[in-house]
Amino acid sequence: MQYTSHEFFVGSLNNAPNCTTDFSEQEIFPKLMLMIFFQGMQHFEIDGVSFHLDVGSGEARKPLVFMLNIARYSKLRFFSQSDVPLRKVMISAPHSWLRNQLDLQDEAQETTLRSFLTQHLASYSFAPGQHILQLAEKIMNPPSVAAGPLATLYLRAQGLDIMWQACLAMMAEKEKQPPVLSSANRQDCERIREFIMANLDRDLTIDLIAQKVAISASTVQRRFKKHYGTTLYNFIKQQRLEAACVALSRDSIPISQAAHLAGYNNTSTFTSAFRKLYGFSPKKMRALGKGDPCRSGSG
């Protein structure tokens, strides 16, 4: 796929034999590249510097997030790949685009990120958590409801979330500030999220969640909001609305049943919340049908 030096790009390769069939030298523009490797290997060279990434295959594979900064126009060349099919997500943020988007108020964050973006071929890699892997899978296998004019919007929503998570991980390590996104805190937040997703039909109080993950209620709320950028209440509300949306679309359940599924006793209140999140009524979603999953873009 061709894209310009001013566009934020999100794409993927799913069991492709190679990243490209063109092994000749090509010019690339200044950009921040981010790749999530699920399987396979890739060998390429930029301005004479070789990069060899191999995450393996099968049960032995070790998914990897790899960030690489291209600070100037450069020469890129790919080398032949292995026989293992390549599965990866690619995100590219041109420097011209980044300059218009970044608004760094925190001095430490500004110093760390700006320093990374000024270093040619600066790189950072880490093992992704469950949230990043889920976002990457959404990019590789987007729902059919996100086809057509919604495709680009859907892919960019997931890509921006991944880039935000990756930048936070990099800044936390380089600034030696574990509370931002330490490995232990990320795991705690993922356990909280997994418990919520598996128990949306229960009365999910803060105390219950805290008890199940063995963390104090105040710590649960603070870490979750810091990690995901939303409160527990709003996250649970959104996920329940999303579940109701899926049931309306796939199973054409009655509006009253969808309201109950989302945790609402009043159908009109449910309709109002649904419309606010999706831009149209539950009735319209049920009429659209087609069995497609619904995603608000941040779940």
CA pair distance 248, 64, nearest whole angstrom: 36
Q: What is the CATH number of the domain that holds 259?
A: 1.10.10.60
In a domain, residue 295? The reply is no
Specify the length of the chain in residues: 299
Same domain? For 90 and 196 the reply is no
Question: Last residue of some domain: 208, 229, 250?
Answer: 229
Query: Terminal CA-to-CA distance of the chain, rounded, Å?
Result: 27
40 and 77 together in one domain = yes
C-alpha distances in angstroms, 227 versus 129, 179, 230, 233?
A: 12, 10, 8, 14
User: pLDDT (tens digit, 9 = 90+) per residue, 9-55?
Assistant: 999 998 876 666 666 889 999 999 999 999 998 889 999 888 889 99
pLDDT in tens, 262-285: 999 999 999 999 888 777 788 888
**Whether residue 220 is found in the same domain as residue 238:** no
Residues 133 and 221 in one domain: no
| 247 and 157 share one domain | no
Q: Which domain holds residue 17?
A: 9-177
The answer to whether position 238 is within a domain reads: yes
Query: Helix H segments across 54-129?
Result: 95-101, 107-118
Q: Is the residue at 119 inside a domain?
A: yes
Do both 16 and 138 map to the same domain?
yes
* Residue 20 shares a structural domain with residue 49: yes
Inside any domain, residue 299 = no
Q: Considering the domain boundaries, does residue 60 fall inside one?
A: yes
Instruction: Write down the pTM of the prediction.
Output: 0.57
pLDDT for position 284: 85
Domain co-membership, 153 together with 197: no
Domain count, the chain: 3
Which pLDDT score is estimated for 74? 94
Does residue 52 lie in a domain region? yes
Say whether both 37 and 131 belong to one domain. yes
Q: Are residues 25 and 102 in the same domain?
A: yes
Specify if 196 maps to a domain. yes
What mean pLDDT is reported for the chain?
A: 84
Instruction: Give the pLDDT score at 110.
Output: 61
Residues 6+ apart with CB under 8 A from 115: none
Q: Does 81 share its domain with 196?
A: no
Last residue of a domain, one of 229, 246, 263: 229
> What residues in the chain have per-residue pLDDT under 70?
1-5, 17-23, 80-82, 103-110, 175-183, 289-299
| Torsion over CA: 34, 35, 41, 42 (sign) | negative
For residue 292, the model assigns a pLDDT of 47
Both 221 and 245 in one domain: the answer is no
